[in-house]
Structure 1
Amino acid sequence: MELQTTVHRDLPALRDLAEQWQSLHETSGTANPFTGPDWALPWLERFADGTRDEPFVVEVRSGERLVGVAPLYVRSVARGLARALQPVGTGAVWVGPYELPGLLTAAGLERDATRAVVARLCEEQASWDWAHLLLGGGSAAPWLEPEWLPDWSFTVLQRRLRANVWLDLTVEDVFAGRRNLKESFRRARNRLTRDLGADGWAVTRTTDPAEVGAALGRLASLHGSRAGLRDGRPVHADVLEDTRVLDLLHDVVGRMARRKAVSVYELRLEGVVEAALLVLHTDTASYSSISGVAERGWPYSAVTHLQSVAVEDARAAGHRVFDLSCGPNQAKLRWSDQVRTATEFTLVGPRRRSRAAHLAVAGHGVWASYGEARRAHRS
């Protein structure tokens, strides 16, 4: 199949593309909420304005039809001695909630569109020294095939995996064989009613664009409170501590709310919000994002209870997947043993200078990946 590609390096052109990009996101059937313009454009506007880093978004078309978008940007690295292409949402500003950026492709054209992106990157080799591409994760071809390269002067390396636990909502009993999990749901409800009475607690779901901003503000405060809980409870980092990240999230959630693609669940105890959960939606899936809980809500397994409500709402909406976010751990694997992976590849350019610079930076990258993993394990 002959596909045409265009590289966009400025924000006005990307804003013009946004409507078609969003339409492709909705019709692609993707379960990944991070591959549409709602996440990429606000990030680029804040962190790739052209002063040092700049957009490098590849558009793929079949005739007039948009069939793929690769949201990338060019990042200056090694004190300006090299340039790396990498997914929007990654880099020096670690945006915890922006977990799985990747390529967006039309259903049935995952491999062809991804191959077209790789071919265009190779044509544009003068613009970068190496490129990071995240494939899979429910939104693109699962692998970067070496045969897609124009010649063997390019080098493909596997960089790392990203994994997330997910629930299959198409089965009759989502929690089959998860007796302990079902029991925890029941105990949480019973304890809430015993301690507070049937009218003393409630779960609310906010989707109204006029109200989502305030709900997100309460969630951010509770997220910070959760990070401060100790006494043997799992350590969590406050991924919203950086005000730039919180500002970005408010923008993204506001955009998604206008399309009814986001929900904020809150547990109220005697009228006071003591726990909250952000859930992102595509046409086929729901994605459990950041959460927060105060000291008072902790004994009631508050976040787990909110997630159980969100699962039921996702099933009622006809969603096929409920995603428990990146980073399998004991708490998430209680829900399901199904783990989906996305693979990040590095494509190193053919120039000797590019290869040397990548080798020099790779060692530092190992340390950076270690730091990122340390943060992720606490979120």
Structure 2
Amino acid sequence: MEPQVRVHQTVESVADLASEWQVLHDDAGDVNPFSGPDWAVTWLEHFADDRRAPFVLSVRYGDRLVGVLPLYRQSAARVIDVLQPVGTGSPWIGPYELPAMTADPARGRAVARAVVAELCARPDDWDWSSVIFGSAAPWLEPEWLPNWEFTVVPRRTIATVTLDLAGGHDIYSGRRNLKESFRRARNRLTRDLGTDGWSTRRVLDEDEIGAAFDRLVRLHGSRADVQDGRPVHANVLADDRVQRYLREVVTRMSRRGAVSVYELLIADEVVAGQLMLHTSTATYSSVSGATDAAWPYSAITYLQSLAVADAQQAGHRQLCLSAGPNQAKLRWTDRVDLTPEFGIIGPRRRSRMLSVAATARGTVTSFVAARRAHRAEVMERRK
């Protein structure tokens, strides 16, 4: 049976796919929360317009949905038409870390090949296309291109730090310093505040998640402020559009029990929070925040340790500490998963030239962003 590919080019059509898409995501055991419909459909509902049109590819075998690749077409000055993963571009959604295809794992390569064939059958619709296959397929194989006039190039690699929870082994084996930091956090809290002076909680209930998210936004902003001479930590929710978008995503996920907010309280005041996203098989660490009062207690690390314990209890096979390996995350594990993004450049000479120019500009932008990120990491360690 040959796969049938459909391109959804309206927000309504993509929204109609959401329920079936979520079932596919759950049944596939996809560990990536961003490859499901909650993030992509909500993004299109918030940000699709005349310049950013849905271009979501669904793949079926008979009546059965086996894959979804969420893209959108961005037009710039009526000169360039680019297909790129939903969630990328402007506005920048920092927490939307790994937009990718989801697919039946038994048919991942076939689904990836089918969407590449469909894209290449529509060369007049785009100049180049960026695709992320995630766990569905390890690579975009050049043999999938219909002829030599198309070109495939690796665009970038997204690195995520992942804690392996499968197998029942001691996940903290050989990481005495990390375990000691958990113990120290508890002891300091009890010593300074007394047994009844502090507590933690996990907010899961749909009716409570909105208020918890609002508290997290304030805590995240507080973490980003200059306090007592400390340098600024990036505020990924400074843009009101991003904040509204993320709030709706969290609300949607809460209806399926797929999101948690862990909080540390001193007396009755919430002083630290950590957002965790859940799939049927994994947990993903997202946005966090803390006040000055929480810093002496390694509050975020301690809340993450509680999330790890809950993920183990739920039978999840991994907990992702988010994209961008750094010293703090690599204290937990040495495992870094790499997800490639590929560019397919169309056959027209104009498309090739525009792609080369955009790549050069992107290289400069990436360099500047990397410098800023490195500076932020160094300053964070000096706190």
Aligned-CA RMSD value: 1.5
1:325 maps to which residue?
A: 322
Match runs of 1:59-74 below 5 Å: 59-74=58-73
1:197 maps to which residue?
A: 194
1:86-113 CA-partner distances (Å, limit 9, x unpaired): 0000002100110000111112111111
| Mapped partners of 2:59, 2:368: distance in 1 | 35
Amino acid at match of 2:367: Y
| Mapped partners of 1:43, 1:322: distance in 2 | 24
Q: Does the 8 Å contact 1:132/1:344 carry over to 2? A: yes
Amino acid at match of 1:152: W
**1:185 lines up with 2:148 in the alignment:** no
1:16-44 CA-partner distances (Å, limit 9, x unpaired): 11110010011111110001110001101
- Give the match's secondary structure for 2:46: helix
| Mapped partners of 2:254, 2:288: distance in 1 | 17
1:207 maps to which residue?
A: 204
Question: Judging changes above 3 Å, is the alpha-carbon distance between structure 1 residues 231 and 339 closer, same or farther for their aligned structure 2 residues?
Answer: farther
Q: 1:145 aligns with which of 141, 144, 154?
A: 141
2:351 maps to which residue?
A: 354
Moved more, 244-253 or 107-116: 107-116
Q: Does the 8 Å contact 1:327/1:376 carry over to 2? A: no
Question: Judging changes above 3 Å, is the alpha-carbon distance between structure 1 residues 344 and 123 closer, same or farther for their aligned structure 2 residues?
Answer: same
| Mapped partners of 1:130, 1:117: distance in 2 | 14
1:223-244 CA-partner distances (Å, limit 9, x unpaired): 0111114668675200000000
Q: Does the 8 Å contact 2:227/2:292 carry over to 1? A: no
Query: What is the TM-score when the length of structure 2 is the normalising length?
Result: 0.95
| Mapped partners of 2:365, 2:329: distance in 1 | 25
Amino acid at match of 1:145: E
| Mapped partners of 2:283, 2:373: distance in 1 | 21
Percent identity over the alignment? Answer: 58
Q: 2:337 aligns with which of 326, 335, 340?
A: 340
Q: 2:100 aligns with which of 86, 99, 102?
A: 102
Amino acid at match of 2:54: P
Q: Does the 8 Å contact 1:133/1:346 carry over to 2? A: yes
Amino acid at match of 1:301: S
| Mapped partners of 1:371, 1:256: distance in 2 | 34
1:241-285 CA-partner distances (Å, limit 9, x unpaired): 000000000100000000000000000011100000000000000
- Give the match's secondary structure for 2:129: strand
Q: Does the 8 Å contact 2:105/2:136 carry over to 1? A: no
What is the number of residues matched between the two proteins? 375
| Mapped partners of 1:80, 1:375: distance in 2 | 32
1:198-218 CA-partner distances (Å, limit 9, x unpaired): 111111110111110110010
Amino acid at match of 2:258: A
- Give the match's secondary structure for 1:364: helix
Unaligned runs of 5+ in 1: none
1:166 maps to which residue?
A: 162
**1:81 lines up with 2:83 in the alignment:** no
Question: Judging changes above 3 Å, is the alpha-carbon distance between structure 1 residues 93 and 212 closer, same or farther for their aligned structure 2 residues?
Answer: same
Question: Judging changes above 3 Å, is the alpha-carbon distance between structure 1 residues 156 and 280 closer, same or farther for their aligned structure 2 residues?
Answer: same
Q: Does the 8 Å contact 1:229/1:295 carry over to 2? A: no
Unaligned runs of 5+ in 2: 378-383
Q: Does the 8 Å contact 2:159/2:337 carry over to 1? A: yes
**1:156 lines up with 2:152 in the alignment:** yes
Amino acid at match of 2:103: T
**1:93 lines up with 2:111 in the alignment:** no
| Mapped partners of 1:168, 1:236: distance in 2 | 28
* TM-superposed deviation, 1:330: 0.1
* TM-superposed deviation, 1:369: 2.5
Structure 1 runs of 4+ with >3 Å offset = 229-235, 370-379
